[in-house]
Amino acid sequence: MSHTTNPKDWSDWEKYREHVVHPAATIKASDLERARDNIRQHDWAKRYTHTLQESAGSILQQITPDYLTNMIEETTPGCVGPCPACRAKGLPWHPNGQWTWSPKEPNNLQCSVCETIFPNAAFPEDIAVTSTWGKGQTFTFVGGDTFKCFGYHQARPSISGITRVRKVQHITSQLQTLATAHVLTEEAHYAHAAKAILLRFADVFPEYLVRAGYGYGEYAGMDPKIAAEHILDLPEDELVYPPNKPDRKIFVGYWAASRIGTSGMDGGWVVRVADAYSLTCTAQDNGAPIYSNEERLHIERNLLLESTYLAACDTAINNKSVMYGIVP
């Protein structure tokens, strides 16, 4: 947002967006030309491109409306949390858990220590908190005794929330693969698939709430922009599960806050998504633009700019703001 410090001021984007020459994020035109020269001249680069195309080709077969809806859910992603089965079995447990997720079973999560698979009838998520803002969202947590997760003394894991963020992480990686395959080969089908992922993110991201990261489980059930601006002085109670009581603050503020399942470091995700957009947004298929102007506006406004809002509200300089600050 150039010289302005007002996170609401997107006037520079409105004024200059049509003049941006893509790619314009971390990868520039000179980088692409060098990469293409390497492909023409070197066997190692040819092998890399072949492997990349194989990976991208397998992704193409997966990109359907049902797949996108399942992988990028309307409910705000969670983050991390401890394994209740490990504690029940008398095993050591970590506040962040040690989890294994596989795209072959995208709605399941397995503890890497005790190998328990979730969802699990022995550990139901029978505690729920509901936000009525926007379309409304419900977040569920494992009942029973609470856990002490770092400085948060009464924590409850949300295995479903952890599963949601693992799915987001996976499809973001797929998005990067598709975008890279497109710019190195200029094959249109990769850009079409990347666009489909970006559009799904743009559809749902504006509803993603500001939440406390790690295993803290607090959500601001209000307009995310208002929550981002007043993270330690919320105008209404945040969502907390029992026995916790709201204090109109998101635990540890910007330090761990997120809308996409990180712990205070959404910037890294924003850069990956912005790169994928910048690498594909001018793509053509038989001379016709793959992205319509309306689609580009939707992605830029409701995904790229929207995802920077939380970072723009945090003016502190620390090791977390490094990941905020790399937003292009």
CA angle 276, 282, 287 (to 5 degrees): 135
Does residue 5 form part of some domain? no
Residue 94 lies in a domain: no
Q: Is the pLDDT of residue 247 over 60?
A: yes
Per-residue pLDDT, averaged over 222-239, amounts to 98
Strands (E), the chain: 99-100, 109-111, 117-118, 127-131, 137-141, 147-149, 152-155, 284-285, 288-289
Average pLDDT of the chain, as a whole number: 95
Let me know if residue 100 belongs to a domain: no
Predicted confidence (pLDDT) per residue in 253-303, tens digit: 999 999 999 999 999 999 999 999 999 999 999 999 999 999 999 999 999
* First-residue to last-residue Cα distance in the chain: 9
SS3 call for 66: helix
Name the DSSP letter for residue 208.
P
Question: What mean pLDDT is predicted for residues 51-75?
Answer: 98
What's the sign of the alpha-carbon dihedral 250, 252, 257, 263?
Answer: negative
**Predicted pLDDT of residue 322:** 57
| CA atoms within 13 Å, Cβ hemisphere of 314 | 30
The mean pLDDT of 50-78, rounded to a whole number, is: 98
Residue 68 forms part of a structural domain: yes
Q: What percent of the chain has pLDDT over 70?
A: 96
User: Is residue 98 assigned to a domain?
Assistant: no
DSSP structure class, residue 155: E
Spatial separation of the C-alpha atoms in residues 44 and 66, rounded to whole Å: 37
- From residue 288, how far is each of 8, 188, 257, 277 by CA, in Å? 34, 10, 41, 17
Q: Tell me the pLDDT tens digit for each residue of 184-195.
A: 999 999 999 999
The span from the CA of 309 to the CA of 8, in Å, is 8
Backbone angles phi, psi at 117, to 5 degrees: -100, 135
Give the long-range contacts of residues 2-5, CB within 8 A, separation 24 or more: 5/312, 5/315
- Confirm whether 74 is domain-assigned: yes
- Return the SS3 of 147: strand
Structural domains of the chain, count: 1
Q: How far apart are CA 280 and CA 276, in angstroms?
A: 6
- Long-range contacts for 19-23 (Cβ within 8 Å, ≥24 apart)? 22/278, 22/279, 22/281, 22/282, 23/183, 23/275, 23/278, 23/279
194 inside domain = yes
Does the residue 259 lie in any domain?
yes
Q: Which band of pLDDT confidence, cut at 50, 70 and 90, is reported for residue 317?
A: confident
Tell me which amino acid residue 237 is: D
Quick check: 81 and 118 in contact, CB under 8 A?
no
Q: Count CB neighbours of 316 within 10 A.
A: 10
Nearest C-alpha neighbor of 291 from the set 206, 201, 199, 203: 199
Residue numbers of the domain that contains 17: 11-79+159-325
What is the C-alpha separation between 242 and 127, in angstroms, rounded? 8
Higher local confidence (pLDDT), 312 or 65: 65
Q: Name which of 84, 59, 117 is nearest 276 in CA terms.
A: 59
Backbone angles phi, psi at 109, to 5 degrees: -140, 135
Strands (DSSP E) contained in 9-166 are 99-100, 109-111, 117-118, 127-131, 137-141, 147-149, 152-155
User: 282: closest CA among 292, 269, 273?
Assistant: 292
Strand partners, 110: 100, 117
